[in-house]
Amino acid sequence: MPSLLPPRAAVLTVSALLLSTVLAGCGDDAQGEDVTRQELSWKACPAPDEAQGGGASPSPLPDDGEWQCATMKAPLDWGDPKGDTIGLELIRVRTTGAENERIGSLIFNFGGPGGSGVASLPAFAEGYAKLRTRYDLVSFDPRGVGRSDPVICENDQQLDAYFQQDGTPDDAAERTRLLDSTTEFNDACEQNSGKILPHVRTTDAARDLDLMRQVLGDGKLHYFGISYGTELGGVYAHLFPQRVGRAVFDAVVDPTQNAEQSSLGQAKGFQLALDNFAEDCVSKAEECPIGDSTQDVKDRIARLLDDLDRKPIEGIFPRQLTQTAATSGILQALYSKDLWEFLTDGLEEAYDGNGSTLMFLSDTMNGRSENGEYDNSAAAFTAISCADAKPRYDAAYVERRLPEFRAASPLFGDSLAWGMTGCTDWAVAGAAEHPDVSAPGAAPILVVGNTGDPATPYEGARAMANALGKGVGVELTYRGQGHGAYDSKNKCVQSAVNGYLLDGKVPPAGTVCT
């Protein structure tokens, strides 16, 4: 996840930690229709399709709560609200509480941009059981994602090559191959999905959220945004401040940063997470199997990546583990402290010539299933990010900026810097330097920052709270590790979030949870 990693460093949403119906498309049959008056037809959910990541239909929750899915019509172009429509896929499970205690629907966006909420919500719903006592839990595939008129770029075979090739060029030839590969990917997006590309900006998704609120029958939008979902929620609050209900932002995007600043912040954030991982390994009572000291752990990882740049090792047959794939796998594991032991195992294996675990982590980050099929998260990430962000960075600019990125992260700086070229040849102009989230008059929004968050560094929470405006953004700090706070199961964090969403109790600004 946002997960705002550049495409070749891979895409991660919260749902990326998860290990065919006809796609809703654009049509002319609904021209002139007032989509705010539509009634949703809820049915049993089908199995996720390839664009959503595949797998089985969502199982009932332990209390026999059944998952229901529906397709909501939305204007393709919000500038022409009675023109062509697209279908947005929704999922819900009804509240466990009494009807007279029901507040409404609580809509989740789990991040990305590009993550399928329809696939993610069932995977994480048990962790939100307390919230379900007063809300229907709802999520959705944003436009361009999953079943919601997905952006399609390259095929599975092409994506295998795209994610394997060298993302940190050392000479002119490697740089040309990298830039050519990016151009080919972007051209494929335009060729296969040109009609939807101008209409996947976060402002479009925010208007979809307001339509969803109306169609679900809620007077206010009750919302839980994670990672990129906090940016989406902030844009919604800016556009519709009087319609904000109870809202929580967790793993908070810094809305004051442009794409370069965000990438540099991630370089620092992931370096911090790597430092914490290495320190944790060597501090355990038993011997750390991947280094004798914190610096030794990091030095050995750096040597591994250098070796892989020259000679890949066996990965998951028939693919080899390249430097790029290994870097993606390490980044994936740094999103959550729960994966640190897995990362240790993967590094230990790689030092012995077996790259399968690191490649599995890389595949998870890139949205590749075991059968070799990719979801559309990489394509959607690129389309949404490039439509949102106005700056375009060429190779010469990146090369000038490399020293600062390397200073921020000797291990990840090059990869994150070169990822900035992902939008250079994009077919749609970017909307703005950064999103506007100012929301005077909105209800309080609880903004939760994690001091050890690698993907959305902690400083973003304060920036978001300040940008939302006085009396709107209420900052809460969690002194922990990993991407996000609520899912850490920290009792202090969950008590504060639940207290606001369920009972309307806003915690004091500046509350700290440890």
User: d(Cα 212, Cα 82) in Å, to the nearest integer?
Assistant: 16
Structure tokens at 425: 């040849």
User: d(Cα 125, Cα 499) in Å, to the nearest integer?
Assistant: 18
Among candidates 492, 381, 466, 476, which has minimal Cα distance to 5?
Answer: 381
Among candidates 109, 116, 89, which has minimal Cα distance to 16?
Answer: 116
Q: Which CA distances in Å does 163 have to 300, 371, 442?
A: 23, 16, 42
Structure tokens at 132: 């379900």
* Peptide bond just before 150 cis, omega within 30 deg: no
Angle between helices 202-216 and 377-388 (to 10 degrees): 110
**Contact by Cβ (8 Å): 108, 484:** no
User: d(Cα 24, Cα 166) in Å, to the nearest integer?
Assistant: 35
Find residue 90's DSSP bridge partners.
Answer: 70, 140
The catalytic site residues sit at 227, 453, 483
- Number of other CB atoms surrounding residue 233 within 10 Å: 32
Residue type for position 402: L
Among candidates 455, 396, 385, which has minimal Cα distance to 423?
Answer: 385
User: d(Cα 455, Cα 4) in Å, to the nearest integer?
Assistant: 7
**Contact by Cβ (8 Å): 149, 195:** no
**Contact by Cβ (8 Å): 251, 505:** no
- Can you spell out the DSSP letters for 46-106? PPP-GGGT--PPPPPPTT-PPPEEEEEEEESSTTSTTS-EEEEEEEEE--SS-GGG--EEE
- Can you spell out the DSSP letters for 207-274? HHHHHHHHHHT-SSEEEEEETHHHHHHHHHHHH-GGGEEEEEEES---TT--HHHHHHHHHHHHHHHH
How wide is the angle at C-alpha 249 spanned by C-alphas 220 and 489, nearest 5°? 115
Whose tokens are 């077996």? That residue is: 354
Structure tokens at 160: 């295998």
Structure tokens at 276: 């914490």
